[in-house]
Structure 1
Amino acid sequence: MPQTITVKIKLLPTREQVEILTKMSYEYISTINTLISEMVEEKKSTKKTSKHLDSFLPSAVKNQAIKDAKSIFSTKVKKSKYKIIPTLKKPVCVWNNQNYSFDFEHIYLPLVLNGKAKKVPVRSLLIDKENRNFDLLKHKLGTLRITKKSNKWIAQISVTVSNEYRNGTKVMGVDLGLKVPAVGVTDNGNTKFFGNGRKNKYVKRYFRKKRQRFGKEKKLHAIRKLNDKEQRYMKDQDHKVSRSIVNFAIDHQISVIRIEQLTNIRQTARTSRKNEKNLHTWSFYRLAQFIEYKANLAGIKVEYVNPSYTSQTCPSCSKQNKAKDRKYKCACGFETHRDRVGAMNIRYAPVIDGNSQSA
């Protein structure tokens, strides 16, 4: 099944290239906004080509700007019956897949130098741990977007990967939570706990206290920077946990990973009053997405199941019991970690059709 993902690559442009990319990025969104305004006024899609645009952009980028403007006009403006007229503000520049190339150290792009378009190399960090980026870039490439974020230039390349799922019947259940971010149990009982919930809780409490202090001092800019830092930390943790889960599945030749459906997880998750603030700022959905796309790349299918009573039902005798603290005990003699019970039951819970809901 084809899957489209975005590969992010850090760029290391020269001072001259920074000036050019900055100018082109502002010119790009200005061109799109102008074209949209013209189409709104004429009540029809533009027939302009790159020859009609007088802007500081190579022809290939002009054509992409026209394409993007037409797309916004048809999908947002016309669809809303002219009630929504978007205005782009964030500087960005886009090249289609026929106008860029790369090697191990550079991305080659058409840039405007001395008034003329010329394909030039921009240094980039294409090689990452385990060469995952470079392996992904061997698949079908889409557009390349360059943006500036936190004084760093980032290239975002759209990649379509055609996956073939593994043959086999081995299933692994994954239970998501707070104190233990994830627990995986294979169909033959192999178990692994992923992530460090206590550390995550400590980090979130640390950021929350600093936000409260900055709020009293009315340092809004500092609060925004702190929020970004916290989000980057939590996103990195989700990436690490999801990567560990998929690697564990690969090591045990798993064909299907099953995760609880995320609808109403905030209402049904097991937590205490002291964990309530963490529960409502936890991105269960993002972690599930990371697991799904990494698993699909490895040829492992992800299915979502009904989580009802998965943490209470005894895997041995099917009786329902409530866990005390972190231990689950049943009258039949079965005893284990309560999050492991959830993962064990998720392996064989009814599969829900369609995609999971947002948490």
Structure 2
Amino acid sequence: MTELTETLELKLVELNAHKHRKLCETKQAYQDALKAAFNANCTTQTEANDVVVNYDLSGYAKNALKKYVPQLCGDSYNADELHNDHPVRFTNEGPKLDHQPQNALEWYVKIPHHEDYHLWIPVQINPNQREWLEALYADDAEMGECRLIERDGTWYFHVTATRDVEEQSQASVDERTPIGVDIGEASLVTVCHRDESGSPVRPELWANDGKAVRRLRKTYFTAKRRLQKRGSERIAESYGDTLWSQIDNLFHRVTREVIEYAESVENPVLVLEDLTYIRENMDYGKYMNRRLHGWGFAKLHAQIRYKAAEKGIPVETVNPRNTSKACHACGEHGSRPRQATFRCSNDDCWLGEYQADVNGAINIADRYRSGESHRRSDRASRQKAGDDDSATDGASLTGPQDSHADAETQQKTCGPYAS
């Protein structure tokens, strides 16, 4: 087991005059308290406490100062002078994260102002750190000290996060067993891999969970529209929070089960479609755009990545082009007469009709085996989604089927209450 620590940078956005003023007040009070304690040469927490207790700061900032000032004045740093660029520090009990995936700005942070007053502020995140935020929000990572920083008039909030991960498998690419992970709207997640003989084995579909999320989202949009017409904005917001919390919990359970599936396979590597730019290029009409833009592709990807890292399971991504159009048996393109069914166009192919999401998952796994894979950091030269064929692909964009009766009998389908 290896302990990893990363500093997450959150950019505070949409600051109104009131919140900006409160942040400035917090910064000034902190700098004043820090200067006073430093000039008093406080070398113990008790000495620092006697000074900073008189300032209008939250207890979380005061506690951070009580630890920090003795380090400056004592043996740790032994600073000769105090500079003006010290960030405002908070102990980890005060700041909180909130996630509202239905909003354009999904992430929010609670920053303590003073004892009885806190500021909830929306933030922009570094996309490469999204999986860390997911882990922190799910209590799968531990929050450390937090810092409030102002740079050239822009405010940032730095959060230290720590988590334990197992060492990744040292197996070579040829020794690994690629598990294709297909994320879609009808079946929330579908996974499958091939055995040593090359035959697809143990496909699992979370189709009932896809149905549950669709139902919750439809309920949310319908209720929100009705409540807004009545002028009940606050009730609509509260009701929406409850439904999105249910979706969050469902996502976490499903992604845990995906990791359990991977753990049951020798030398696994989870293979995801790279859905970069997918939302920017969607245009299937107002109704489908609303459904697909609100779908949790990025959230599911992030949860799978960080949960896999905790178990030492590698994760790779592949270009999603044609993964749902091609036949996994012969490679020819086919059609989707129904959302759950793939039909091969090659009359000589033994496949005929197959469960569409399983076919897509196998193609995703095969794409990794063929050597066409890349890590998330290598994005510059990728093909954009205009040519992509992802889980949102059309032939398919007729109404998704709530039934998965077309799945082959040996396929296991996990419902909302599967264990």
TM-score over 0.5 for the alignment?
yes
Structure 1 pair 4/244, CA: closer, same or farther in 2 (3 Å)? farther
The Cα of 1:237 is off from its aligned counterpart by 1.2
Q: Which whole-Å deviations, capped at 9, do the CAs of 1:132-171 have from their partners, x for residues lacking one?
A: 97xx78xxx66278xxxxxxxxxx9943324301244111
Tell me the amino acid that sits aligned with residue 347 of structure 1.
A
Contact 2:216 2:247 in 1 (8 A): no
Residue 227 of structure 1, CA deviation? 2.2
Which residues of 2 match residues 174-213 of structure 1 at below 5 A? 174-188=181-195, 189=200, 190-194=202-206, 196-213=209-226
What CA deviation, in whole Å up to 9, does each residue of 1:181-230 have, x standing for no partner? 11001232221012521221111111111111110111111111122112
Match of 2:87 in 1: 71
Report if the CA contact (8 A) 2:282-2:289 is conserved: no
Distance in 2, matches of 1:278 and 1:65, equals: 49
**Distance 1:64-1:239 versus aligned 2 partners, 3 A rule:** farther
- Paired with 2:5 and 2:256, the residues of 1 have a C-alpha distance of 18
User: Aligned partners of 2:337 and 2:326: how far apart in 1?
Assistant: 14
Distance of aligned partners of 1:217 and 1:270 in 2 relative to their CA distance in 1, 3 Å threshold: closer
The residue number in structure 2 matching 1:91 is: 112
User: Counterpart of 1:218 in 2: which secondary structure?
Assistant: coil
Report the alpha carbon displacement of residue 37 of structure 1 after superposing the two structures with TM. Answer: 3.3
Question: What is the CA–CA distance in structure 2 between the aligned matches of 1:177 and 1:248, rounded to whole Å?
Answer: 18
Aligned counterparts of 2:359 and 2:285: Cα–Cα separation in 1:
19
Aligned partner of 1:62 in structure 2 is 65
C-alpha change, 1:269 and 1:297, in structure 2 (3 Å) is farther
8 Å contact kept, 1:304–1:355: no
Partner in structure 2 of residue 333 of structure 1: 350
Which amino acid counterpart does residue 358 of structure 2 have in structure 1?
R
Closer/same/farther in 2, CA of residues 270 and 215 from structure 1, 3 Å limit: closer
CA 1:71–1:303: 2 relative to 1, 3 Å: farther
Distance 1:254 1:206, change over 3 A: farther
Please show how residues 299-318 of structure 1 align to structure 2 within 5 Å. 299-318=312-331
1:343 equivalenced with 2:361 (yes/no): yes
Give the deviation of 1:355 after TM superposition: 4.1
Distance (Å, rounded) in 1 between the aligned partners of 2:227 and 2:281 = 33
| SS of residue in 2 equivalent to 1:91 | strand
**Counterpart mapping for 1:1-359 below 5 A:** 3-4=4-5, 33-34=24-25, 36-37=27-28, 49=38, 50=48, 52-53=51-52, 54-55=54-55, 57=59, 60-63=63-66, 70-71=86-87, 90-91=111-112, 143=144, 158-168=161-171, 169-188=176-195, 189=200, 190-194=202-206, 196-266=209-279, 275-325=288-338, 326-330=340-344, 331=346, 332-334=349-351, 335-349=353-367, 350-355=372-377
Shift of 1:272: 8.8
2: distance between equivalents of 1:32 and 1:273? Answer: 40
1:299 shift after superposition: 1.1
Q: Separation in 2 of the partners of 1:199 and 1:205?
A: 10
Query: Which consecutive unaligned segments of at least 5 residues does structure 1 have?
Result: 7-29, 74-87, 94-131, 146-155
Is the deviation greater in 190-199 or in 255-264? 190-199
- AA aligned opposite 1:70: H
Amino-acid identity (%): 20
Q: Secondary structure at the match of 1:304?
A: strand
- Kindly report the root-mean-square deviation, in angstroms, between the aligned alpha carbons of the 2 structures: 4.2
Using a 3 Å threshold, how does the CA distance of structure 1 residues 220 and 279 change in structure 2: closer, same or farther? same
After TM superposition, the score normalised by the length of structure 1 is 0.62
> Given the superposition, is the C-alpha separation of residues 274 and 32 from structure 1 closer, same or farther in structure 2, using an over 3 Å criterion?
closer
Q: Distance in 1 between matches of 2:63 and 2:298?
A: 37
5+ residue gaps, structure 2, are 8-20, 39-47, 73-84, 90-108, 115-137, 147-158, 380-384, 386-419
Distance in 1, matches of 2:317 and 2:210, equals 23
- Residues 26, 113 of structure 2: 8 Å contact kept: no
The alignment's TM-score, normalised by the length of structure 2, stands at: 0.54
2:375 maps to a residue whose letter is D
Residue 269 of structure 1 and its aligned partner are, at CA, apart by 7.9
Q: Using a 3 Å threshold, how does the CA distance of structure 1 residues 64 and 257 change in structure 2: closer, same or farther? A: farther
Contact 1:3 1:163 in 2 (8 A): no
CA distance, structure 1, for counterparts of residue 170 and residue 337 of structure 2: 39
For each residue in 1:32-83, what CA deviation from the matched residue of structure 2 results, as whole angstroms up to 9, or x when unmatched?
754623799x9xx96954465224748643346889x83369xxxxxxxxxx
Distance across 2 between alignment mates of 1:90 and 1:337: 49
Q: CA deviation at 1:91?
A: 3.2
**Cα separation, 2, equivalents of 1:187 and 1:5:** 36
Contact 1:311 1:342 in 2 (8 A): yes
Q: Rate the CA distance shift 1:279–1:211 in 2: closer, same or farther, 3 A.
A: same
Cα distance in 2 for residues equivalent to 1:255 and 1:273: 39
